[in-house]
Amino acid sequence: MKNWIKIFTKQSAILIALCTITLFSACSKDGNPNGLPDANPDEYARKAKPGVIKILAIGNSFSEDAIESNLYELAKEKGLKVIIGNMYIAGASLANHRTNAERGTPVYEYRKIGEDGVKKNTTKVSLEQAIQDEQWDYISVQQASPNSGQLETVQKDLPAVFNYVKSKATNENVKYAYHSTWAYATSSTYSAFANYNNNQATMYNAIINVSQKIESIAPVNFIIPAGTAIQNARTSALGESFNVGDGYHLNALGKYIAACTWFEKITGQSVVGNAYNGGFSSFEVKVAQNAAHLAVLKPNEITSMSTYEAEPVPLVNPVLVDFGNATPSATWNQMSGYTVGSKVNLKDTKNIFVGMSLTIIERFNNINTNGAIGTTTPLNMPDNVSARNFYGNAKGAPFNNIVTPKGVIEVAGLIPTLNYSFSFFGSRDASDNRETLFTVSGVNSGSASLNPSSNKTQIATIENIKPNAQGKITITVTAGPNNVSANGWFYLNAAKITSN
């Protein structure tokens, strides 16, 4: 009888154990529809990839700007293999990341660049899924730009985000970074700029104040000073030319600078001299790479790059300027900012930086998208150029709450001994006479006008203007004497500059 009981007990125990295993397996499968790793990390975690640097950013569009372009190519140029991931939600703050972590919500777009350089975007991904998708070598976090210089917001949410990420990471040697982002352009009209009194220096200093205190808030291993790199570059001849029209996201060159900063900080290799140029001129690459390198050396202060000046050169090829576009057109410079301080550094049609810049010194009202397409002028404009313009209202009732009597642009970096010629195009779908007058002034001056109303063929040309001793010329755009519109509408879509 005792033997029978022993046998029964043993068999029961085996049966119970089998049922338990079966039940656990079923629950693990049914309760895990998103394919998260099971409880045994040794069995289920993705294997390490020796020789591959794996980088994950938990961020927003600013991490998109910094790592989704150029970083892979910079690494490849040095023979380094990388995998790059970006957990993207537009405008996401640390508070958003904290909530998503605590709730396990699959609300991210997981943008992943593989070893082969191919990017794959996957929607509805949770933080846990992405963190456990690879044995990441580096994981970064960042604050949303409106709050990037507000210390209390970082103190409130960073510890929880950091602890969550650390609890889910599968690489025991992972290093954690804080992405210190950039201040807005001086011309930015973004409402969040008010958090810093609409002052770039105030915003930059606030961001640095946060960065200097990060390691006391969460035990990150290092700071990536992308914001300082951008600020360094702003002291060069390139000036305020690293943002798109909204004044806070980076343009192509700004993205290159940010990626250079990430490259040097993560790899420990100086980015100066990296042969991957991103398609930029030698001068732009020189400024970008050195701006990043100097930021890594001195992350909490601005290093002046005023000595990195490009010498003005005679224009062997024309300079073409597209007003009102953030979307590039081949051979055209894009001037997307229409407010005071907006600036673009100019290349010629061979993509060579020529040492010239345009800066708005009296604003236009806004950007209009109703210019003509299918134009036939000596400027040979693509539709993307001819269809958009800066416009102003010289008189009458305010429009957008303002009257703009004239728009004034300063051209700098000219050679005082040369003469320069300018051709302008203006166009807007209209039927009345909206004559626009263009005046170019240096040592001498000249004027020309055209009627932009439904214009597809006319340009206004002013020749042989000599710059002043400082190598500057001003362009003034306003309503002409024959303009009959009640608001004195005037338009500037495109320009061509040549020298003798």
- pLDDT at residue 49, rounded to an integer: 66
Residue 31 pLDDT greater than 70, yes or no: no
Round the CA-based radius of gyration of the chain to a whole number and report it: 28
Q: Structural domains in the chain?
A: 46-297 (3.40.50.1110), 319-499 (2.60.120)
Instruction: Say what the pLDDT of residue 50 is.
Output: 67
Alpha-helical segments (H) within 106-150? 127-131
How far apart are the C-alpha atoms of 396 and 156, rounded to whole Å? 51
How far apart CA 461 and CA 468 sit, in angstroms, is: 20
Residues 6+ apart with CB under 8 A from 98: 157, 160, 161, 164
pLDDT at 47 over 60: no
Mean pLDDT, residues 287-300 taken together: 98
pLDDT at position 45 over 90:
no
Residue 303, number of CB atoms within 10 A of its CB = 16
Q: What are the CA-CA distances from residue 281 to residues 135, 238, 243, 265, 355 (Å)?
A: 37, 12, 17, 24, 11
The confidence score (pLDDT) of residue 48 equals 55
pLDDT digits (tens, 9 = 90+) for 210-236: 999 999 999 999 999 999 999 999 999
pLDDT, tens digit (0-9, with 9 covering 90-100), for 73-87: 999 999 999 999 999
Which residue reads 């050169």 in tokens? 313
| CA–CA separation, 447 and 434 (whole Å) | 16
Please give the Cα distance from 423 to 125 (Å, whole number).
52
The pTM of the full predicted model, rounded to 2 decimals, is 0.63
| pLDDT tens-place string over residues 88-132 | 999 999 999 999 999 999 999 999 999 999 999 999 999 999 999
Residue-level pLDDT at 40: 38
Q: How confident is the model at residue 327 (pLDDT cuts 50, 70, 90)?
A: confident
Please compute the mean of the pLDDT values over residues 462-479 and round it to a whole number.
98
Which strand (E) or helix (H) includes residue 321? strand 319-323
pLDDT band at 30 (very low <50, low <70, confident <90, very high): very low
